[in-house]
């Protein structure tokens, strides 16, 4: 190897070491999938802040896309990221990959979960499929924690919009495993980060599209017990993980009452919380709320790096 080639290899080494890693979510057959022979993941694009972003409408092969920080920056913290999309698809770029890349700048591993949406054309027992994938993601990250230089007790889950419902379901239903777990690895996330989340499935405050996509069966009324089960403000207890939560007051898609109900439940059980509210911003702003120079992600990263996930309840406006 000549000097020029050697120098080029050294220049490329950081890129090779810290580029994203994509792995299948399940090591073998994908549970609850129907016969999808010949089908591939599909989607389309939409614009966010004049940038084209992918919206995946059919996930056939659930995956983890792992972004690991440089060794010199690594904090050992990891966040599994669930993009939103009303349980009808995944806004995987501006609520997934963009957020992961922001986390790794600060030494936090960002792990994008490409999860299956509850479409009965492609899956059986549709209501449990997203939670299966979220629990499997937590399991896989804990299994790889040593290899990826992640602290096994600093693995959290994040979600935006309906992804926030999925993340909060993972954070309140971890004692109800939907996946095989012979090693009894903890499925409890160590913290939750929720961005304009769907929390409740009650008629008054829910996002009906998300609720119907997850629970509705043809034209039959939804079982009230299922509405209660998946209204995550009703599932909080003293073991619920600490929460960072963001919402805009003028959100017309997912009412801010979702966040307020969840905060009230968390405070009742003395769960550590950090809340960050915008006066404006609407719904779906992702990483960057253009109505202000103050960004929720900066406060969130400070919260994570300060290890405030173990402190008493407090709020920020």
At the fourth CATH level, the homologous superfamily of domain 17-310 is: Alpha/Beta hydrolase fold, catalytic domain (3.40.50.1820)
Pick from 276, 277, 280, 275: nearest CA to 291: 280
Contacts of 46 (CB under 8 A, 6+ apart): 52, 53, 55, 91
Question: Contact 207/162 with Cβ under 8 angstroms?
Answer: yes
Contacts of 171 (CB under 8 A, 6+ apart): 157, 188, 189, 192, 232, 240, 241, 243
Tokens of 282: 């609407």
Question: Contact 283/248 with Cβ under 8 angstroms?
Answer: yes
Domain ranges of the chain: 17-310
pLDDT of 256 reads 98
pLDDT of 20 reads 83
Please, is 48 exposed, middle or buried when counting C-beta atoms within 10 Å of its C-beta (0-12, 13-18, 19+)? middle
Pick from 158, 23, 149, 165: nearest CA to 99: 158
pLDDT of 308 reads 60
Q: Running DSSP on this structure, what letter comes out for residue 127? A: G
* Total residues belonging to the chain: 317
pTM: 0.91
Q: Average pLDDT of each block of 10 consecutive residues along the chain (317 residues)?
A: 42 48 96 94 86 92 97 96 98 96 97 97 97 98 97 97 98 97 97 98 97 93 96 98 98 98 98 97 95 96 82 44
Tokens of 153: 């007790």
């Amino acid at each position: 190897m000549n000097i020029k080639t050697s120098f080029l290899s050294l220049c490329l080494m950081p890129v090779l070491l810290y580029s994203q890693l994509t792995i299948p979510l399940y090591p073998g057959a994908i549970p609850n999938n129907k016969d999808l022979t010949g089908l591939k993941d599909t989607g389309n694009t939409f614009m966010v802040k004049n940038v084209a972003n992918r919206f995946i409408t059919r996930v056939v092969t659930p995956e983890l896309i792992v972004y690991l920080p440089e060794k010199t920056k690594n904090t050992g913290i990891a966040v599994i990221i669930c993009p939103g999309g009303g349980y009808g698809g995944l806004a995987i770029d501006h609520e997934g990959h963009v957020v992961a890349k922001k986390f790794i700048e600060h030494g936090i591993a960002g792990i994008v979960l490409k999860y299956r949406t509850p479409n009965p054309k492609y899956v059986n027992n549709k209501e449990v499929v997203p939670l299966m994938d979220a629990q499997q993601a937590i399991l896989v990250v804990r299994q790889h924690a040593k290899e990826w230089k992640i602290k096994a007790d600093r693995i959290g889950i994040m979600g935006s919009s309906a992804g926030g419902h999925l993340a909060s379901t993972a954070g309140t239903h971890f004692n109800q495993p939907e996946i095989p777990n012979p090693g009894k690895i903890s499925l409890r996330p160590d913290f939750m980060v929720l961005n304009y989340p769907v929390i409740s499935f009650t008629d008054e405050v829910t996002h009906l599209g998300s609720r119907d996509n997850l629970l509705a069966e043809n034209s039959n009324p939804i079982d009230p017990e299922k509405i209660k089960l998946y209204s995550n403000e009703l599932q909080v207890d003293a073991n619920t993980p600490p929460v960072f939560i963001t919402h805009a007051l003028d959100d017309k898609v997912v009412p801010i009452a979702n966040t307020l109900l969840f905060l009230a439940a968390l405070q009742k059980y003395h769960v550590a919380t950090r809340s960050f509210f915008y006066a404006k911003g609407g719904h779906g702003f992702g990483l960057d709320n253009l109505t202000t120079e103050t960004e929720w992600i900066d406060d969130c990263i400070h919260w994570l790096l300060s290890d405030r996930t173990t402190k008493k309840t407090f709020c920020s406006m």
